[in-house]
Structure 1
Amino acid sequence: MRVVEVSEPGGPEVLRVVERPEPVAGTGEVVVAVEAAGVNPTDLAARQGMTVGDSASPPYVLGWDFAGTVHAVGEGVDRFAPGRAVVGMVPWYAVHGRVGAYAERIAVPQEWVLPRPEGLGAVDAATVPLNALTAAQLLDRLPVRPGSQVLVTGASGAVGGYAVQLAVRAGHRVTAVAGTGDEEWVRGIGAHVVLPRDTDYSGVGEFSAVVDAVPVGEALFPAVARGGKVVSTRPVADAPAGAGIVQEVMLVDLDLPLLERLVGEVAAGRLRTRVERTFPLEAAADAHRAAEERGRRGKVVLTP
């Protein structure tokens, strides 16, 4: 079967399609025939050799998010049978490319996999796990009550877009920063105020709760109230001494019950997602080039 390997850290050209042995389901594992695999910013970073914790040693396989159909099950699997439509997430920081979603089939523990609701296509499903879980867990770290004012950067992107929607559903008033041409989309998912990407943050007010999904980093500090908190997925510059700004960097946790709720919300149309382009597995390098383009409208997804 075919997988996409990173031959060495570098640009999109280091992605190569190779043949590997068919995966076999071990005890407690399922083999999934992958129909869609999300391309995420963390994949672009990992391709360049920027990983969290121990570095991955080439060749390694990228990909967190997958959706497809159960191909085979191992001993002790009691939640799935062959033919079941599923969606799941590889905790890539933990496995460092030993398993990745950029493949025709993958063998994974059944604890990484959920039944895919009827009516939710594989491509849309593959945009949910990493992005929606990250958004939900970022919001969980903010000191907010219903009616709070929340600032979300990167609202045009997948994590920021889910963060806007989840914050609005929780009863917060959201000010969102969106890319040019994406203002209508961001308003449509519930943002109360939409600011342009090149906003001067010294003039937007002060927020006690900020999801920095870009992250913007230092330029954002004028918009954070004393005692306010900024949550992000990557380290940024330290806040000025005496500013009273709390910063927290979060790594996503594979919370299966939470993911099941989020997938159900997308399937029911209560959370919205969008896909700009799909690429076959052999065009993974082109998919990465597309994912690196500014002004993109939605996710890039591989379709093995």
Structure 2
Amino acid sequence: MKELMISPGPDELLVCVMAAAANPKDWKASEQLGFTSNPGDDMAGIVEAVGSDVLEFKPGDHVAALHRASHPMEISEKTTFEEAAAVPLAAMIASLALFRHLGFPAPWDVTSETSASGPHLIYGASGAVGAYAVQLAVKAGLYPIIAIAGRSSNYVQSIIDPSKGDKVLDYREGLHAVVFKAKEALGGKVLYHAFDCTL
């Protein structure tokens, strides 16, 4: 049997995929739009070959990326492929929502004038996108953060900064309780920004 030889293009990586992740959009595309393929977007693996114009990576590197190796990032060998495969799409959505759509300064652009540009409410803070949104908001100084979560509230509590006024509220307590506690956490400040990570 003849072995299939695949070569990357000049600006591409060829990656041996060790783990892939599925996202809600994958099953929604099949269920709601009738797509029969479900390729997923997130993957992690080992670089097999690099194109002639690639300078940042070499064979043997452990990477995570969107499929077709779009925007690859090197991962530590301490990070499992399964952990790394869960990063690309969720982190990208959280970043785009906070720093492009909502217009907050990215963590590397934060100055004393732009910090503390909250309050900011993140609904679904314990999901994949929500957890990245909380962590990015903390790094960008978007406090106080009012994070709405459920069973994983303890996890969300571990990634916020209560000293900055950040709070975690449990949606299972009911709408009225959450609204009351959110107003209490705001302390009279107006809430202009909210990010619903549950869609």
Same fold per superposition (TM over 0.5): yes
**Greater CA drift, 197-206 or 121-130:** 197-206
Write out aligned runs for 1:1-304 (5 A): 23-50=6-33, 58=36, 60-90=37-67, 108=68, 112-140=71-99, 141-142=101-102, 145-147=114-116, 148-171=118-141, 172-179=143-150, 181-190=151-160, 192-198=166-172, 199-200=174-175, 202-203=179-180, 204-205=182-183, 207-215=191-199
Query: TM-score, structure 2 length as denominator?
Result: 0.73
Structure (1/2) with the larger helix percentage: 2
Percent of aligned pairs with the same amino acid: 34
> Could you tell me how far apart the structure 1 residues matched to 2:126 and 2:193 are?
19
- 2:15/2:46 contact within 8 Å kept: yes
Unaligned runs of 5+ in 1: 1-20, 91-107, 216-304
Tell me the alpha carbon deviations over residues 57-116 of structure 1, each in whole angstroms, 9 at most, x when there is no partner.
x4x3421111110123344444333222111113xxxxxxxxxxxxxxxxx36x532222
2:186 aligned residue: none
Separation in 2 of the partners of 1:169 and 1:39? 27
Regions of 4+ moved over 6 Å: none
Structure 2: tracts of 5 or more residues without a match: 105-113, 184-189
Higher relative contact order (CA 8 A, sep 6+): 1
| CA 1:152–1:124: 2 relative to 1, 3 Å | same
Partner secondary structure for residue 194 of structure 1: strand
Shift of 1:146: 2.4
CA distance 1:29–1:151, change in 2 (3 Å): same
Equivalent position amino acid for 2:96 in 1: Q
Greater strand fraction, Structure 1 or Structure 2? 1
Figure out how many residues of one structure are paired with residues of the other and give that number.
170
Does the 8 A contact of 1:143 with 1:209 survive in 2? no
How far apart, in 2, do the equivalents of 1:79 and 1:176 lie?
Answer: 37
More displaced stretch, 188-197 vs 147-156: 188-197
1:173 alignment partner AA: P
- Which amino acid in 2 is paired with 1:177? I
Contact 2:160-2:167 at 8 Å conserved across structures:
no
The 8 Å contact of residues 174 and 193 in structure 1, kept in 2 or not, is answered as yes
Aligned partner letter, 1:134? I
Q: Residues 84 and 175 of structure 1: is their aligned pair in 2 closer, same or farther, counting only changes over 3 Å?
A: same
Deviation at 1:130, TM superposition (A): 1.0
Q: Does the C-alpha gap of structure 1 residues 76 and 168 become closer, same or farther in structure 2, counting only changes over 3 Å?
A: closer
